[in-house]
Structure 1
Amino acid sequence: MEQPVLLVAAALTLAVGLLHSWLGERMLIAPLLALPARDGPLARASLRRVLRNAWHITSVAWAGMGLVLASLAFAPLESSGRKMLVIIGLMFAGQALFVLATSRGRHVGWPFFAAIGAISLWAAA
């Protein structure tokens, strides 16, 4: 195994994806869609499906990133692997900063995004 620390980032990324889907559905999406929608975009059933699907597709994308990180943990890091890690690291670092700023530090996700970003960037160095 070339970069075992990437397995930590992969596990965090998979956990973030699973928690995002589960908690988001339970605490945000289901209660929001349970409200009577008389007017506005949520009055249309198709847009209600789009909202739910978009929420969960984000989780699937994070799970995919976790699998990429796990696969990079087992391979020698060449130039393209390091570039992928930089891209993933910057993406998660950016998400951490965005969530930190927009939630004023109250959203539980930003430290996890920051850790995934930091580990990815560290492994790329």
Structure 2
Amino acid sequence: MLLIGIFLLLIIGFIHSYLGEKYLLSRLFKRDNLPKLLGSDWFTKRVLRFAWHLTTLAWWGFAGILYVLINPSVHSKNEILIIIAIVFALSGIVSFVFTRGKHLSWLFFFIIAATSYYGVTYS
């Protein structure tokens, strides 16, 4: 049953990002009445885009955790912590790149990734 969940998480993540870009974000960004954060709508658009795609990353991370739980081993805790570290490191990269560091979520994502990795390394 967990394989079905994994498959659905991977597929829905892809569909969410693709269709969101094609039918929602692209149309939304054509509007001229978006809030102007930090002086323009550039930042607003970038935050909306990276937040949208972080959902997909999170779902794919959950798929990875489900995969580990299919055949739990002695190292399952560490494997799950590595998945969490990877998801949050990627989230930090996406946040930093999309907003050129102006949205400070990247800092917290990197701290979460580091503490998760620390849990693997020193447990």
Question: Which band: TM-score by shorter chain?
Answer: 0.5 to 0.7
- Map 1:1-125 onto structure 2 (within 5 A): 5-37=1-33, 40-41=35-36, 43-75=40-72
Q: Is the 8 A contact 2:35 2:44 kept in 1?
A: no
State the AA in 2 paired with 1:13: L
Query: Which consecutive segments of 4 or more residues in structure 1 shift more than 3 A?
Result: none
Partner of 2:118: none
Q: TM-score, normalised by structure 1?
A: 0.52
Question: In 2, Cα distance between the equivalents of 1:62 and 1:32?
Answer: 24
Counterpart-to-counterpart distance in 2, 1:41 and 1:56:
21
Q: Percent identity?
A: 36
Q: Is the 8 A contact 2:6 2:63 kept in 1?
A: yes
For these two proteins, the number of residue pairs brought into alignment is: 74
Q: Cα deviation per residue 1:8-56 (whole Å; 9 max; x = unaligned)?
A: 111111111111101111110111112234x634752111100010000
The structure showing larger relative contact order (alpha-carbon pairs under 8 Å, at least 6 residues apart) is 1
Report the 3-state secondary structure (helix = DSSP H, G, I; strand = E; otherwise coil) of the residue aligned with 1:34.
Answer: coil
Whole-Å separation in 1 of the counterparts to 2:6 and 2:36: 36
What's the secondary structure of 2:29's corresponding residue?
helix
- Residues 49-97 of structure 1 show CA distances to partners (whole Å, capped at 9, x for unaligned) of 0001000001110111011111111226xxx8xxx9xxxxxxxxxxxxx
2:7 alignment partner AA: A
